[in-house]
């Protein structure tokens, strides 16, 4: 348990130092276009929930890696009750919380997705923690399945992306 936590903190520190910004900022415009266009087929279409920009950082330890995505909801309020993948043993939903002068991570059981809202799992905010990830390689894809109370299960392909954005 301690090992996992340390691994997670080390990873987040590395991500913070690398100064990630751009990766998930490219997707919102695409996401907006996608949900504006006539009712996309597939899960979630009925309720207006869509998931875009899913990424998983290539694991640098066998213990944990981070995942990011954007949920766009053009319909009524929904609740994300969990995420699963075949690419890791467990997926946790975390939130960064300031605790005095230090950032800590808090696991969430549920994430509310208000009506007509965008909910982002992005660096430095809410994020997914994939525990015991498989040996994923940059350029591969892994499916992430999001479980919603109303929209049901929505599965999206997540790109495996470099931790630093560029080879050292």
The answer to whether 94 contacts Cu ion (rule: CB under 5 A) is: yes
The answer to whether 123 contacts Cu ion (rule: CB under 5 A) is: no
Q: Smaller CB distance to Cu ion: residue 45 or 96?
A: 96
Binder to Cu ion among 51, 105, 156, 161 (CB under 5 A)?
105
Q: Which stretch binds Cu ion (CB under 5 A): 29-37, 122-130, 138-146, 150-158?
A: 122-130
Strand segments (E) across the chain: 49-57, 64-73, 78-84, 88-99, 102-108, 111-113, 117-121, 126-133, 141-148, 152-161
Tokens representing residue 112 in the block: 């509310």
Q: Which stretch binds Cu ion (CB under 5 A): 33-41, 86-94, 117-125, 142-150?
A: 86-94
Cα dihedral 94, 89, 10, 157, rounded to 10, equals -70
Q: Which stretch binds Cu ion (CB under 5 A): 44-52, 53-61, 70-78, 123-131?
A: 123-131
Between strands 78-84 and 64-73, the pairing is: unpaired
Binder to Cu ion among 35, 71, 126, 129 (CB under 5 A)?
129
């Amino acid at each position: 348990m301690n090992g996992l936590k340390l691994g997670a903190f080390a990873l987040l520190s590395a991500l913070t130092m690398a100064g990630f910004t751009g990766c998930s900022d490219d997707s919102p415009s695409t996401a907006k276009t996608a949900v504006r266009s006539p009712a996309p087929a597939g899960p979630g279409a009925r309720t207006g929930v869509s998931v875009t920009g899913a990424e998983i950082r290539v694991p640098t330890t066998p213990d944990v890696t981070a995942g990011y995505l954007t949920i766009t909801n053009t319909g009524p309020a929904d609740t994300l009750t969990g995420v699963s993948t075949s690419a890791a043993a467990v997926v946790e939903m975390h939130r960064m919380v300031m605790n005095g002068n230090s950032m800590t991570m808090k696991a969430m059981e549920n994430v509310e997705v208000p009506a007509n809202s965008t909910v982002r799992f992005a660096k430095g905010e809410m994020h997914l923690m994939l525990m015991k990830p498989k040996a994923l390689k940059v350029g591969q894809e892994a499916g992430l399945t999001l479980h919603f109370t109303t929209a049901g299960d929505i599965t999206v392909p997540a790109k495996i992306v470099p931790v630093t954005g560029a080879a050292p």
